[in-house]
Amino acid sequence: MTTFKELGMRTALATRLEQLGIEEATAVQEQSIPHVLEGKDVIAQAQTGTGKTLAFILPMLEKINHNEPSIQGLILTPTRELALQITGELSKLSQAVPDIQVLAVYGGQDVEAQLKKLKRSIHIVVATPGRLLDHLRRGTIDLTGISTLVLDEADQMLHMGFLPEVEDILNQTNPHRQTLLFSATMNSDVRSLAKKYTKKPENIQIKAKNITVEKINQLVVETTDRRKQAALRALLKEYQPFLAIIFCRTKRRANTLNEALQSYGFLSEELHGDLSQAKRERVMKNFREAKLQYLVATDVAARGLDVEGVTHVFNYDIPHDVESYIHRIGRTGRAGEDGLAVTLVAPKDQDHLTMIEKGIHMTIRKEQSDAVADDPKPAERKKKAQKPENGSQRRHSRGKGTDNQNRMQAGKPAKKRTRRREK
């Protein structure tokens, strides 16, 4: 067990971490923090849930000079939610370093409000690439004095197409800065970026075995596309999660599924890129406070989210690559707690399932879903039951029970059919 004080943290920071229930450093923190404190560049590969955030914000807080009224630290993230989460972690530690000012800069905020805050002394900026570039073009943010730059979730940043923006930002920073790159995966694009912008970096790699295999129970439920929604509802009723994230492939599917769940009385909300920033913040606040039980989300919106108490993850749509699967199920089983990840698999999904099992080097336990195909929503069932049969339905009926057959069975002559002559 390595304490944060042993890693070089000041007593006030170590004490504050203990107050937050964090006493022992994780592997990525233990291996990264000493190098960061020495001023070295670092490239760290570690899955979500391993404590990467503290691995870079703790040494950054140690090194900031609060007497210098300029931006000294910059943290780039791919999503607004992750920017807010990192800012929240910095705020929790602010009691130990009260003179350090932090500002989150992301799209969806009032630009004028951000400009007003930037007139004050800011030491650390946590930003998404698009909004930060907007400020750089306006001349409202100066990055020439930063001493430490962090690229968090670098693989997702590049996957979302931010490479041109990231390079534009990097070219406007102090060339003598310290660069820290943290990523869950190290594909060729990430390695190329790291090689181009880091100098003699320390390479750290934390294996994901403890996250994907030992900490999270995994289950595949075999169903069909038609029965998928009914299967999900049956699973939610069976497992009764405290908090659960349900992943969908697209924004439209997340919206459709969320509306369906709400119609059946589930406490759910959707989270995706089409929501306003105010709505996204409100949804996440309610989810963190357990006012919502189910978060129906897309991969981009939920990337990097760390919500305490998530007991279950449901892959309503199976991910199409191993990395996305690992990121999704990493939302549960955090901080040493057990978690359950359930993936719904239709016959057409078998190739993706095989790829995932090969990628994580294990065969996932499988069950057959007994759920029947979706019936109408409660409101629709009630409306349908109250709706009387109309003449149109009778006229289009087939087989037994037609109007003339009923008359003949009752001993009455059939109605004569007449043809209206054209005038």
- The predicted pLDDT at position 263 comes to 96
- The predicted pLDDT at position 213 comes to 52
- The predicted pLDDT at position 112 comes to 73
Q: Read off the tokens for 309.
A: 């108490």
Cα–Cα–Cα angle for 124, 130, 136, rounded to 5 degrees: 60
- The predicted pLDDT at position 377 comes to 56
- The predicted pLDDT at position 25 comes to 93
User: What is residue 102's three-state secondary structure?
Assistant: strand
Beta bridge partners of 294: 244, 268
DSSP 8-state secondary structure symbol assigned to residue 3:
B
DSSP 8-state secondary structure symbol assigned to residue 373:
S
CB neighbour list of residue 196: distance below 8 Å, 6 or more residues apart:
none
Q: Name the nearest CA neighbour of 49 among 30, 73, 76, 27.
A: 27
Measured distance CA(248)–CA(268) in Å, rounded: 14
Q: Exposed, middle or buried: residue 111 (CB in 10 Å: 0-12, 13-18, 19+)?
A: middle
* pTM > 0.85: no
Block means of pLDDT (10 residues each) for the chain, length 423 residues? 89 92 91 96 86 94 89 92 89 87 83 75 92 91 94 87 93 94 88 93 77 73 95 95 94 95 96 83 90 91 75 94 83 72 96 90 90 61 46 38 42 44 41
CA-atom Rg of the chain in angstroms: 28
CATH numbers and ranges of domains, the chain: 4-205 (3.40.50.300), 210-368 (3.40.50.300)
Measured distance CA(329)–CA(314) in Å, rounded: 8
Q: Which residues of 343-372 are buried (b: 16+ CB within 10 A; e: fewer)?
A: bbbbeebeebbebbbeebeeebeeeebebe
- The predicted pLDDT at position 334 comes to 63
Q: Name the nearest CA neighbour of 222 among 344, 330, 135, 134.
A: 344
